[in-house]
Amino acid sequence: MKRFSGIDIFHLSRAGDKTDAADERACGRRPKSFLSRLKRDCRGATAVEFAMILPVFSYLLLGILEISVMFAMQVIVENAVFSAARQIRTGQAQSSADADTTFSTALCTELYNIINCGDIFYDVQTFSTFAAVDLTVEYDADNEIITESFNAGSSESIVAVRVMYQWNFFTPLIGDFFEDTDSTNRRLLMATGVFRNEPYE
């Protein structure tokens, strides 16, 4: 069995002293005062730095998540307009007892209850030419959307369908960068469809 000589033990002791000295230099020599020791103690520095970064990181993560969900809602609205507008283009809505109800039912079905149908604004208008189509969104004094009357037209009419949904931001300050109008904290998600009805008559 190998045993350590006195010289070996001495060298090990000196190595341990050097390690302790390096730790003292890293954290600062230990003063006598408790407050001074507390001020110079570097233990737990990583936890403190993490606690400082965590709120900012969480805020950025929440903002990215909300923007992602908002764009997903935009895609859902666009797909709903594409499907529901076909009820008008093929004349199925006009042939029903109530074209407005037929269209709105088809629209709400395509929203899959992900978006509350009661929060959707829509209008359907007819125009004489494609160049005359105007899709400008107007607001009232309370910053609420003004919609036009429902007019699905007849066979071969030029029709413009607008469906709008106002996204309310829940992440603080995000609305300052993405809102449509000042101090509303909302962004308008709109999908449109402009087409000529099929000659179904």
Bridge partners (DSSP) listed for residue 125? 160
**Do 100 and 30 sit in the same domain of this protein?**
no
Residues 101 and 145 in one domain: yes
Q: Are residues 34 and 93 in the same domain?
A: no
Q: Quick one: 19 and 83 in the same domain?
A: no
Residue 53 placed within a domain? no
Q: Which residues contact 125 (CB under 8 A, 6 or more apart)?
A: 148, 149, 151, 159, 160, 162
117 and 176 in a single domain? The answer is yes
pLDDT in tens, 43-70: 777 888 888 999 999 999 999 999 999 9
Q: How many CB atoms neighbour CB 105 within 10 A?
A: 16
| pTM listed for this prediction | 0.74
Query: Does residue 104 share a domain with residue 166?
Result: yes
**Percentage of residues of the chain with pLDDT beyond 90:** 60
DSSP state of 130: G
Instruction: Tell whether 138 and 184 lie within a shared domain.
Output: yes
163 lies in some domain: yes
Q: Sign of dihedral through CA atoms 68, 74, 76, 79?
A: negative
pLDDT tens per residue across span 170-181: 998 888 888 876
Phi and psi at residue 32, to the nearest 5°: -80, -35
Total tally of structural domains belonging to the chain: 2
Residue 136: inside a domain, yes or no?
A: yes
**120-127 β-sheet, strand order:** 120-127, 158-168, 186-196
| Same domain for 173 and 101 | yes
Q: Which two tokens stand for residue 58?
A: 């969480």
What is the spatial distance between Cα 111 and Cα 84, in angstroms, rounded to a whole number?
Answer: 10
Q: Is residue 86 part of a domain?
A: yes
Q: Residues 96, 157: one domain?
A: yes
Domain containing 21: what range? 7-40
pLDDT for residue 37: 66
User: Do 29 and 101 share a domain, yes or no?
Assistant: no
